[in-house]
């Protein structure tokens, strides 16, 4: 006979088990893992927004005492896959955005690597660029899908007619600025490329939101069997969405590690670099038109969003998704139009519902006769489309605290509980979801 489940931790006021490690500073983050004879990498970045590197001179940089090498696109072996153009690092002289990685200086110390990067001289053929988001841009286009794989435009009923006939009408345009995640721990990674042939193995101690996914992406980029790539994410100093996918710096570190004869290559982005290659939330221009009856019931909703994306890699932010999934009306239209701007890739969607909704529909500065936005679709007359993706399948609509767009689960190797702190205990680490992790193996 079974009784009620007795819980010990659930429901009890438990202090965080990682508390003592964090308040004494002994919880290890990626850059802090104890490794033998590391070298340090510093990125060289493009200073034009668009164009070509026509000349890049590393002579002065390489002449510094303590510099191991300086990588550029010149004489750089091809990566195996250009499936993700953001990770197509040092493969050509083409510049897609200001801040793009065009070189990596590797040296015995942070100071020497930084100075070496500074001494690299670059000449560009700059091309005209567009970095201001404008509603009248000539380059607006309709993406095939919006992030992650949703229908771009939807329409039900006759929005124009319903708006024209509505006794209460609101027509307002809102703009939101670009925003940057800027976790307090910058993006950091340590890459070790060891062995050769069958024993070749890439190991990364990396600050990320999903070690498995980073490993998958890097394996693909380098044409490695996934079993040859291990990514360990010990403690992570915040991410907010910006560390969920591999970025150029991880590829850069791995490229450097490949030449470093087995020595660990440590790379930490500077705070300034955090604004160039780690993703961001697109600025938006959103026109919201609402039609309502005198009692406040919505009869028509039109939400047309303009956001921006990069020319070399599309990320169509699902700006108006909240409206589509949460607001019922007989006549609705949502559309997305990014212009292909000269910008770094977006991939900035945050992981929390509130921030997903934030760009979608800021509260209009007018009050409808009666708040009615959250009525369930069971109310008379609604023929609206049910929510997309894998939300909870209840009759009607998700409530105000609905989950974000479809989340993913990634298979992971089993975790073993480790003591916290930086002891050299072997084990397997894994991560998925929010930044509370089991510690990784080895020196962390």
Partner 1 sequence: MRPFEYERAADVGGAVARVAGRPDAVFLAGGTNLLDHMKLGIASPGLLVDVTGLSLDTIEFLPGGGVRIGALVRNSDLAADPVIRRRYPMLSQALLAGASGQLRNMATTGGNLLQRTRCPYFQDLSTPCNKREPGSGCSAIDGHHRDHAVLGASASCVAVNPSDMAVALCALEAVVQVHGLGGAHSIPVEELYRLPGDEPQRDTVLEHGELITAVDLPALPVAARSRYRKVRDRASYAFALVSVAVAARIERGSVRDVRIAFGGLAAKPWRARAAEQVLRGAPATGKTAVRAAEAELAAAQPLRGNAFKVKLAQGALTAVMRELTGEATP
Partner 2 sequence: MEARVTLGVDGALCPLMIDTRVTLLDALRERLDVTSAKKGCDHGQCGACTVLVNGRRVLACMTLAVALDGAEVTTAAGLADRDGLHRLQRSFIEYDAFQCGYCTPGQICSAAGMLAEAAQGWPSYVSADLTGPVELGDAEIRERMSGNLCRCGAYVNIVAAIQEASREQAR
- Contact positions vs partner 2 (CB under 8 A): 15-16, 18-29, 31-32, 34, 109-112, 182-186, 235-238, 240, 268, 270-271, 422, 435
Site string for partner 1, 389-428 (x = CB under 8 A): ----------------------------------------
* Residue 20 binding partner per list partner 2, partner 1, none, with a CB distance cut-off of 5 to 8 Å that depends on partner kind: partner 2
115 or 304: whose CB is closer to partner 1? 115
* Residue 354 interacts with which of partner 2, partner 1, none, CB < 5 to 8 Å by class: none
Is 327 within 8 Å of 295 (Cβ atoms)? no
Q: CB nearer to partner 2: give 33 or 192.
A: 33
Residue 47 interface partner, choices partner 1, partner 2, none, CB cut-off 5-8 Å depending on type: partner 1
Answer left, alpha or beta for residue 407, where phi above 0 means left and psi between -120 and 50 means alpha. Answer: beta
> To the nearest whole angstrom, how small is the minimum distance from the Cβ of residue 272 to partner 1?
9
Question: Is the Cβ–Cβ distance between 95 and 52 less than 8 Å?
Answer: yes
Nearer to partner 1, 82 or 127 (CB): 127
Cα–Cα separations (whole angstroms), residue 137 to 145, 146, 199, 339, 360: 20, 19, 52, 7, 21
Residues 31-60 binding partner 1 (CB under 8 A) are 47
C-alpha distances out from residue 25 to 142, 310, 350, 420, Å: 48, 39, 27, 11
Interaction partner, residue 118 (partner 2, partner 1, none; CB < 5-8 Å by kind)? partner 1
Of 47 and 173, the one with the shorter C-beta distance to partner 1 is 47
> Within 10 Å of residue 126's Cβ, how many Cβ atoms?
15
Work out whether the CA dihedral 114, 115, 121, 125 comes out positive or negative: positive
Q: From 110-118, 129-137, 202-210, 224-232, give the range in contact with partner 1 by CB under 8 A.
A: 110-118
Q: Which does 83 bind (CB under 5 to 8 A by kind): partner 1, partner 2, none?
A: none
The yes or no reply on residue 134 touching partner 1 (CB under 8 A) is no
236 binds, among partner 1, partner 2, none (CB under 5 to 8 A by kind): partner 2
Name which of partner 2, partner 1, none residue 104 binds, using a CB cut-off of 5 to 8 Å depending on partner kind: none
Site size for partner 1 (CB under 8 A): 5
In sequence order, the β-bridge partners of residue 315 are none
What are the b/e assignments for 66-103, b being 16+ CB within 10 Å? ebbbbbbbeeeeebeeeebebbbbbeebbbbbbbbbbb
115 binds partner 1, rule: CB under 8 A: yes
CA distance linking residue 431 with residue 444, whole number of Å: 15
DSSP bridge pairs for 146: 150
Of 182 and 385, CB closest to partner 2: 182
Quick check: 201 binds partner 1 (CB under 8 A)? no
Cβ 146 vs Cβ 72: under 8 Å: no
Do residues 218 and 83 lie in contact, with contact meaning Cβ atoms separated by under 8 Å?
A: no
* Closest approach of partner 2 to the CB of residue 281, in Å: 15
- Per DSSP, 31 falls in state G
374 interface partner picked from partner 1, partner 2, none, CB below 5 to 8 A per type: none
Q: Which residue among 111, 139, 171, 295 contacts partner 1 (CB under 8 A)?
A: 111
Q: How far is the CB of 118 from partner 1 (least distance, A)?
A: 6
DSSP codes, 211-280: HHHHHHHHHHHHT--GGGEEEE--B----TTTTSS--HHHHHHHHHHHTTTT--EEEE--TGGGGTSS--
Report the distance separating Cα 403 and Cα 388, nearest Å: 12
Sign of the Cα torsion 222, 224, 229, 231 reads positive
Binding segment for partner 1 (CB under 8 A), chosen from 28-36, 114-122, 341-349, 386-394, is: 114-122
DSSP at 433: S
Binding residues for partner 1 restricted to 300-339, rule: CB under 8 A:
none
Q: Does 114 bind partner 1 (CB under 8 A)?
A: yes
Minimum CB–partner distance for residue 202 and partner 2 (Å) = 23
Length of the chain: 444
Contact flag: residue 127 with partner 1 (CB under 8 A)? no
Rounded to 10 degrees, the C-alpha dihedral 205/349/356/368 comes to 160
What does 184 interact with, of partner 2, partner 1, none (CB < 5 to 8 A by kind)?
partner 2
Contact residues for partner 1, defined by CB under 8 A: 47, 111, 114-115, 118
């Amino acid at each position: 006979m079974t009784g009620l489940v007795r819980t010990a931790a659930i429901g009890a006021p438990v202090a965080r088990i990682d508390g003592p490690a964090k308040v004494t500073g002994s919880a290890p983050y990626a850059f802090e893992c104890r490794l033998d004879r590391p070298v340090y990498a510093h990125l060289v970045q493009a200073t034009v927004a668009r164009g070509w590197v026509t000349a890049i001179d590393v002579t002065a940089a390489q002449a510094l005492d303590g510099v191991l090498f300086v990588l550029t696109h010149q004489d750089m072996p091809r990566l195996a896959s250009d499936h993700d153009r953001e990770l197509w690092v040092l493969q050509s002289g083409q510049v897609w955005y200001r801040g793009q990685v065009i070189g990596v200086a590797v040296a015995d110390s942070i100071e020497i690597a930084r100075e070496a990067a500074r001494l690299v001289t670059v000449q560009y053929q700059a091309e005209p660029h567009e970095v201001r988001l404008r509603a009248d841009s000539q380059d607006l286009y309709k993406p095939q899908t919006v992030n992650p794989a949703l229908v771009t435009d939807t329409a039900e009923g006759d929005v124009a007619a319903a708006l024209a006939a509505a006794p209460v009408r609101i027509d307002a345009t809102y703009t939101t600025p670009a925003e940057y995640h800027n976790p307090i721990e910058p993006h950091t990674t340590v890459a070790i490329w060891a062995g050769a042939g069958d024993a070749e193995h890439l190991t990364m101690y990396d600050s990320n939101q999903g070690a498995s996914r980073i490993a998958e992406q890097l394996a693909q980029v380098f044409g490695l069997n996934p079993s040859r790539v291990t990514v360990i994410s010990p403690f992570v100093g915040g991410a907010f969405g910006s560390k969920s996918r591999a970025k150029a710096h991880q590829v850069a570190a791995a490229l450097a590690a490949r030449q470093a004869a087995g020595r660990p290559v440590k790379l930490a982005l500077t705070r300034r670099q955090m604004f160039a290659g780690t993703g961001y939330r697109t600025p938006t221009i959103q026109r919201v038109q609402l039609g309502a009856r005198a009692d406040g019931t919505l009869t028509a909703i039109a939400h047309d969003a303009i956001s921006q994306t990069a020319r070399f890699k599309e990320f169509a932010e699902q700006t108006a998704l909240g409206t589509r999934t949460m607001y019922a009306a007989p006549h609705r239209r949502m559309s997305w139009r990014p212009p292909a701007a000269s910008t770094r890739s977006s991939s900035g969607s945050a992981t929390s519902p509130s921030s997903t909704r934030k760009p979608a529909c800021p509260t209009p500065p007018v009050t409808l006769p009666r708040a009615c936005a959250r009525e369930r679709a069971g109310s008379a007359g609604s023929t609206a489309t049910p929510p997309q993706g894998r939300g909870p399948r209840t009759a009607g609509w998700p409530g105000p605290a609905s989950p974000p767009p479809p989340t993913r689960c990634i298979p992971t190797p089993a975790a073993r509980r480790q003591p916290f702190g930086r002891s050299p205990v072997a084990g397997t680490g894994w991560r998925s979801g929010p930044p509370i992790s089991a510690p990784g193996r080895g020196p962390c």
